[in-house]
């Protein structure tokens, strides 16, 4: 990485990203070409950490529960705001980088490295949070782990940028509990001695039907999706084990907790009806709703528009993201940047191809630059950071 000592701090940041543009494009492509699912992103972790190490960041890979996580830090000699940049780099099973996390991780690292070249002058601290498994799965949504282990609470602000079909700001997302329900019965021959059996599948079916009935009586923000993963081995054997998986979503963590408890009560009823035992397992961290700090987004909007991006001012919330967990603790932005046509939909083959296109490469550079410029404004204006904190607390 080049060291830039001439010109203004602003120019230094622009030059840092421009002079290393080919490195960042190649990094994004390399991660795209080597897709790894959540908590298995060893290639991506090594690739991003190598860039940060070369740029003088201190790197800690010993993050609890997630072997492919990391936390990289570069400090100025004087005190100042501590700014976090969130890196995601997991792929989707069977689809590869169809959500563009190759861009997210690289853009945050590019921004951090540029800021690292001026942090001696600005003071403060630059922290890159390498957070695996945003897409979920077993022990997924690592940002919840970062929060639980106190790895973000000392930060003053956090940020990232996500590829999409258009450029826009952060939006509310839904909290989600990904849970498995297991029912345990007793096997028996379904024809010769069914009276000796306890049907675990019946328990799951009663649970599933109960959830279907519940859906008629939930608030508009609630979404409950479920599938039956195990339902027995043969028709003539009373199933002694059955399993279903549900995603329970709601507009807030409090609401999500409420509906998860309600579904547990349905499971208890299904157990009483069938005689089968049951248990619920949280297969990954619970994901919190994203808390928007509007004034923070306005800063990013100014920076990204100055780079020629067309910024859409209105956007509906989509799905869930574990960036919500961090946003509940510190002011956080999760804006979006255009990498393809308006018809482009995430988690598709078309999105995967778009995430390695020339438009995506430019979005990576613009996104990284805007993140760095947004962070620079906070580093140079500690009073602004305090204003964002007050707004965040009042939302």
- Residue 128 corresponds to which tokens in the numbers above? 């890159």
Cβ–Cβ under 8 Å, residues 338 and 359: yes
Stretch (H or E) spanning 337: strand 336-338
- Report the alpha-carbon distance of residue 138 to residue 190 in Å, rounded: 34
**Segments of 169-272 assigned E as strands:** 175-184, 223-230, 241-250
The model's confidence at residue 313, banded by pLDDT at 50, 70 and 90, is confident
Q: How many CA atoms lie within 13 A of 353 on its CB side?
A: 5
Cβ–Cβ under 8 Å, residues 170 and 298: no
pLDDT of residue 6: 40
Overall residue count recorded for the chain in this entry: 395
pLDDT of residue 53: 98
Q: Which residues, including other chains, have CB under 8 Å from residue 162's CB and lie 6 or more apart?
A: 100, 104, 334, 335, 336, 337
Q: What is the mean pLDDT of the chain?
A: 96
Q: Which of 5-19, 72-86, 148-162, 293-307 has the lowest mean pLDDT?
A: 5-19
Cβ–Cβ under 8 Å, residues 284 and 133: yes
Q: Which residues, including other chains, have CB under 8 Å from residue 245's CB and lie 6 or more apart?
A: 178, 179, 180, 181, 226, 227, 229, 283
Burial environment of residue 195 by CB neighbours within 10 A (0 to 12, 13 to 18, 19 or more): exposed
The model's confidence at residue 5, banded by pLDDT at 50, 70 and 90, is very low
- Report the alpha-carbon distance of residue 85 to residue 161 in Å, rounded: 9
Domain 1-172+289-394 in CATH 3.40.630.10? The answer is yes
Cβ–Cβ under 8 Å, residues 132 and 46: no
Which CATH number, 2.40.50.140, 3.30.70.360, 3.90.79.10, 3.50.40.10, labels domain 175-282?
A: 3.30.70.360
Output the CA–CA distances (angstroms, integers) from residue 186 to 47, 138, 197, 209, in the order listed.
Answer: 50, 28, 5, 22
The model's confidence at residue 21, banded by pLDDT at 50, 70 and 90, is very high
The model's confidence at residue 316, banded by pLDDT at 50, 70 and 90, is low
The string of pLDDT tens digits covering residues 329-358 is 999 999 999 999 999 999 999 999 999 999
The pLDDT > 70 percentage for the chain reads 97
List the domain boundaries for the chain: 1-172+289-394, 175-282
- Its sign, for the CA torsion 271, 274, 276, 282, is negative
In eight-state DSSP terms, residue 182 is E
Nearest Cα residue to 199 out of 244, 239, 243:
239
Task: Evaluate if residue 122 carries a pLDDT over 70.
Answer: yes
């Amino acid at each position: 990485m080049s060291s830039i000592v001439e010109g203004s701090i602003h120019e230094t940041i622009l030059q840092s990203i421009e002079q290393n543009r080919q490195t960042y494009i190649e990094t994004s492509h390399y991660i795209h070409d080597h897709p790894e699912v959540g908590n298995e992103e060893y290639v991506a972790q090594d690739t991003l950490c190598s860039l940060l190490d070369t740029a003088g960041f201190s790197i800690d890979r010993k993050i609890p529960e997630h072997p492919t996580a990391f936390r990289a830090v570069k400090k100025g000699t004087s005190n100042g705001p501590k700014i976090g940049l969130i890196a995601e780099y997991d792929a989707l099973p069977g689809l590869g980088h169809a959500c563009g996390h190759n861009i997210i991780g690289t853009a945050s690292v590019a921004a951090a490295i540029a800021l690292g070249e001026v942090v001696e002058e600005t003071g403060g601290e630059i922290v890159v949070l390498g957070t695996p498994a945003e897409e979920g799965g077993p022990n997924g949504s690592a940002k919840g782990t970062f929060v639980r282990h106190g790895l973000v609470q000392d930060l003053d602000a956090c940020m990232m940028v996500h590829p999409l079909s258009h450029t826009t700001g952060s939006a509310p997302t839904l909290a989600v509990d990904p849970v498995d329900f297991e029912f345990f019965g007793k096997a028996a021959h379904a024809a010769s001695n069914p009276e000796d059996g306890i049907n675990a599948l019946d328990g799951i079916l009663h649970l599933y039907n109960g959830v279907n009935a519940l859906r008629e009586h939930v608030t508009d923000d609630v979404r409950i999706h479920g599938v039956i993963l195990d339902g027995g081995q043969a028709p003539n054997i009373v199933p002694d084990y059955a399993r279903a998986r549900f995603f329970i979503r709601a507009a807030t963590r409090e609401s999500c907790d409420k509906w998860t408890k309600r579904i547990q009560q349905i499971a208890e009823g299904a157990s009483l009806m069938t005689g089968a035992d049951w248990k619920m397992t949280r297969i990954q961290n619970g994901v919190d709703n994203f808390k928007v700090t509007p004034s923070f987004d306005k800063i990013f909007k100014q920076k990204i528009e100055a780079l020629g991006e067309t910024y859409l001012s209105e956007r509906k919330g989509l799905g869930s993201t574990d960036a919500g967990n961090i946003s509940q603790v510190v002011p956080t932005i999760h804006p979006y940047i255009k990498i393809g046509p308006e018809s482009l939909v995430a988690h598709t083959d078309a999105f995967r191809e778009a995430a390695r296109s020339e438009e995506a490469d430019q979005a990576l550079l613009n996104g990284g630059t805007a993140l760095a410029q947004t962070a620079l404004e906070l580093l140079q204006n500690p009073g602004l950071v305090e204003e964002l904190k007050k707004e965040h607390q009042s939302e």
